[in-house]
Chains A and B, each alone.
Chain A
C-alpha cells in the first residue's frame, strides 16, 4: 500500500447538485476516490452516471449556477480545492493539473495555430520568452508523435486529422508537466486504430514522468488496456473499486458483472449479446434504497429500502452490494 504522501488527488464524499426548474438533480452523490503518483485510474460507467461532472468538479470548471457543490472535499496535493480562491485554482489549472477533452474537433480554437495554443499554455504559467515557448512546443509536438513538428506547429486545427488534434490537445495538457492529467473520454471520437495509438502514447508519456492519469471512459476495452485501478460509477456513486485484475477477473457487484457480460467475446460468438435492461436513472428521480435495484438480477426485497454500504473484499477491492457480500461470506 502506498503511503499517503503519494496521493495526488483525494476526493471525499463529493456531492454535486444541479438546481433548475423542478426537483434537484443529484448528479454526483457521495463519491470517494484517490489517485496516486504515476498511476492510471479509470472511472467507468454508462452515459449520464456523473463521470464527467466529477472530473469538472475536480478541475473547478463546473458552471455555478446551475451546478452547486453540496458537500465533500477535493484534496489536490494536500490542498483543499473547494476552499481555494478562484485565482489560486486558476494558477493550478494547466500547470499542476490538466484536462484532455472528448472532442478534439471542437476543443481547439479554430482561429489560432496549434503552436500558438500550446505555447500559450506555457506562457500563461511560466516566465519564459516566446522563443523558448516555441522551442518547447516543438519538442512537445514531437513527444506526442506528430511528424515534422517544425512545420506542423504553424498549422491551424482544421488542417489536422482527428488523431493529430487529440495529440495536440495532449501536448497542450502536458505543456507545464502536470502532476495529474484528467482525460475525459479522449478516444471516444476517434477510430479504433487511432485510439490504440493514443492509448499507447499516454502509457509511454506516463513512463517518462510520474504523472497520474484519471481516465474517464465507458469503454471497458480501453480500461483493460491502460488502467492500474478502476472505479465503477453508477447513478453518481462509486459501486465498485479495485485493481484492473479485481474488476475484470473477480467482479463483486452485479452492475460490474452486467457490464462485463455486455462485452462481446469469442466464446459468445453467434449468441445474442447481453444488455442490461432499463436505463440509468435520471439524477433527479433516483430509486430508493440501492439505485441499481430496478435493473439488478440479484434483487432482494430489502434492496428497495436499504441503502447499500461499501463492502471490503481486501486488497483495496470494495463493492457496494451487501447481498453478494453476504452470500460470499456464507459460502466461505
Chain B
C-alpha cells in the first residue's frame, strides 16, 4: 500500500475511420507515496495521452483498456460524478501551456479560487484570501494587487506559477505536471525544479512529471520511466538511469544529449498506427537480434525493470 497510483496494462487506442492509433499500448507502472516520478520520452511517444487518460479527459473516439487504481478504486470504471470529485481534489493536472490554459476574461484570483470553490465549498471571499496567501507563497507580488489582474497582465512564468498554485490549492495527493519546462528558458529551469520542491515541503504528495527534458528530469526525479512508442521500456531509479541505463533506447537517448556527444538516434520514431512487430525499438537498435521480433516482457534486473531481451 505504498503506491498512490497503480497503472496496469493500460491501452489507449484512438479509433479512426478504418484504423486505430495505439497511443498507449500495454503500459504498467506505479507512483509511490511522496515520490517524484518522471515520465520521459520523445514527442509522440504517448506521454501526454497517458497523463490525460488518468483523469479520463480524452475525447470520445478513444478506447481504453486496463486498470488505473487510485486509492484502491479503478478510475476507468468510476461514474463521471465520482471522477469529477477526484479531478482537481485528489489528483491535480497542471496543463502544458500556461499561456492558453487561463481564461482571458476572468481575473486570475477567481480562477485560482475555482478548485477550492468547486471541491471544498469555500465561500468566494475566503477563497480569494487563500489565493492571496498562495500567490505570496509562489512569489507573485504584490499579491493583493495581482489577484485582481487578468492573465494578459502576467508573464509566462507567472502564469505557470499561477497554474501550479491552482493545482496545489486543494492539497491533492498526486499532481500530474505535463511538460512543465515547455517554453521555459534554460536559465529558468532550475526555478521550476525549485517550485516543485517547494510544493512538497508543506504537503505530502506525489508528483508525476511528464517531460522530454532529460536534464530537468535528472534534477527533479526520484525515479524515471522511459516511454517509447506507447510502451514503457524502462523504469528505474533516477541515479541508475543517468549512470548506467539498461535499455538500448535509454542509452541512445542519453547519447543524444549535447553533453554526451549529441549523437542522434538513427531512423525516425515509428508510426503508432502500425508499430513494428516485437520490440518496438528493434528497427533502430544496434543490438537487435532475430529474437527481437518477439515482444519482450518487462524484465526485472535488480532495481530496474527493462523491456529488452538483452537482460533475459
Asked if A and B bind, the verdict is no
Interface, chain A (partner B; CB < 8 A): none
